[in-house]
Structure 1
């Protein structure tokens, strides 16, 4: 037997219903830090340092970002 249930709700309503934490303030702070860094001028070293400290998977996440940037920059050359 197969039963399908459809729930029409916003992501905020689903988060509250499931009891998940609200990370909106953390997200806003993260975005504000990135925008502030971009306004000040982003050097490759600063970008690497930021991603090392902010990347969700540490070094593995940084490697993924670096590979992506290398592919994009290589495609534009």
Structure 2
């Protein structure tokens, strides 16, 4: 024998039925504090400083890769060019 019971209620009604506390006001207060802090920090920061703070390694890494590729290309061009005596 199989019995199925469907209960149609909102999350608030289920919380009340099971005796759980309503934490929604606390969540809203914490989210407001978080939003205020983030807004204050973002307004205090210069966009250039933010970019340097968030992407320092990737920008430096990109520059290093660029230099490495240019050095390899220059070395390859020097090796492929004619030798000092004019012969390949």
TM-score, normalization: structure 2? 0.43
Query: Whose radius of gyration is greater, 1 or 2?
Result: 2
